[in-house]
Amino acid sequence: MHLLTEEIQKMLPELYATENEDDPIVWVKFFTPDSCWTWYVLEGSEQENGDWLLFAYVEGMFNESGYVSLRELENVRGPLGLGVERDIAFTPIPLSKVLTQNCD
């Protein structure tokens, strides 16, 4: 599975495009199926080396916002050796909706 399809690449705002928005849209959700890590991607830009740098809200050991490269995500493995997947049923939503969800 391609984590970042051409369709997603086209709709994803460039890095820093939404930094002044009060409630930016989360466009894509990545997760580890055998762990508790989730990346909610808000922005992204293709880099000169062909990789993508993404800005995301991350739920894991701590919840925080930050940058992650697509290559880094492609290399992540959970405790059972499973890689990161894209939630194909995810519909873009405002970040505020993600922040109010309870993941038990």
> Residue 84 above 60 pLDDT?
yes
CA distance linking residue 28 with residue 88, whole number of Å: 9
> Residue 102 above 80 pLDDT?
no
> Which two structure tokens, joined as six digits, stand for 50?
């062909």
Count of all residues that appear for the chain in the document:
104
CA dist 15 to 18, 48, 76, 79, Å? 8, 14, 22, 31
**Mean pLDDT for the stretch of residues 24-35:** 97
Of residues 100 and 29, more confidence is placed in: 29
Number of domains into which the chain is organized = 1
Proportion of the chain above pLDDT 90, given as a percent: 92
> Residue 15 above 90 pLDDT?
yes
Residue 36 lies in a domain: yes
Residue 1 lies in a domain: no
CA distance linking residue 64 with residue 56, whole number of Å: 8
Residue 88 lies in a domain: yes
**Mean pLDDT for the stretch of residues 70-96:** 96
Q: Which domain holds residue 68?
A: 6-17+24-100
pLDDT, one tens digit per residue, over 60-73 is 999 999 999 999 99
Helical (H) or strand (E) element with 53:
strand 52-59
> Residue 38 above 80 pLDDT?
yes
The distance from CA 52 to its chain's CA centroid, rounded to whole angstroms, is 11
Residue 81 lies in a domain: yes
Residue 38 forms beta bridges with which residues? 31, 59
Say what the pTM is. Answer: 0.93
Residue 47, phi-psi category: left (phi > 0), alpha (psi -120 to 50), beta (remainder):
beta
